Amino acid sequence: MATSNAPTLILSGARAALAAAEAHANRIGVPMNIAIVDSHCHLLTFTRMDGAKVTSINIAIDKAFTAAGHRVPTSSYKENVWPGGVAFGIWNTNGGRFCPIGGGVPIISEDGHVLGAIGCSTGTPMQDEEVASAGRDAVLAMIKEKVAVQTRKEEERQTKRARSDVKPVESVIFEGVILDQAKL
């Protein structure tokens, strides 16, 4: 095929993730910069909560960019990017946007598609990742619920169709007697 269709997060999904991430940031008392990108690493939303660091703005955006592009949490590189590691130097790639600091998590659907990613910054990387994860979990739950609703509706449609496939019998009149075709 010359083309393909692939799912990606859109603004409504990004906002669901953002709301949950903000709520969690408030819960732990760390104001965050929160960036959400789509499956192609392009920014969907960015939010700087009151008190978040201005030097964390770009970091949050780059964490999201990196997590969506490389499909793993930005905290996962560890020894791979330290001296001795096979990916030492990777922070310089993509025009310096590759960010191997914890706080970015990909948003991956149940059937394995990377829909986007969320990146947070201002706290410790562990706090950043915690907030990002809360956002990711919320939008995945929202998607799962929508899929469940759709599945139920589709099943109902198929049930109705099956029932209507049974054609209404036309009566047959023969010698003055009505024959029910269904019984023939």
Q: Which pairing describes strands 43-48 and 33-38: parallel, antiparallel, or unpaired?
A: antiparallel
The DSSP output letter for 122 is S
Give the residue with the Cβ less far from a second copy, 21 or 68: 68
**Binders of a second copy among 38-67, rule CB under 8 A?**
40-50, 53-59, 62, 65-66
Residue from 23, 28, 148, 172 binding a second copy (CB under 8 A): 172
**Residue 19 is a binding residue for a second copy (CB under 8 A):** no
- Shortest distance, CB of residue 120 to a second copy, whole angstroms? 14
- Token pair 């659907």 in the structure block, residue: 109
- Shortest distance, CB of residue 183 to a second copy, whole angstroms? 10
**Residue 110 is a binding residue for a second copy (CB under 8 A):** no
Q: Which pairing describes strands 114-121 and 172-174: parallel, antiparallel, or unpaired?
A: unpaired
Please report, for residues 90, 167, 172, 173, 180, the alpha-carbon distance to residue 177 in angstroms, rounded to integers and kept in the order given. Answer: 86, 21, 8, 5, 10
Which residue type occupies 101?
I
**Binders of a second copy among 65-94, rule CB under 8 A?**
65-66, 68-71, 75, 81-84, 86-94
- Shortest distance, CB of residue 72 to a second copy, whole angstroms? 10
Q: How far is residue 10's CA from residue 139's CA, in Å, rounded to a whole number?
A: 11
Total binding residues for a second copy by CB under 8 A?
A: 77
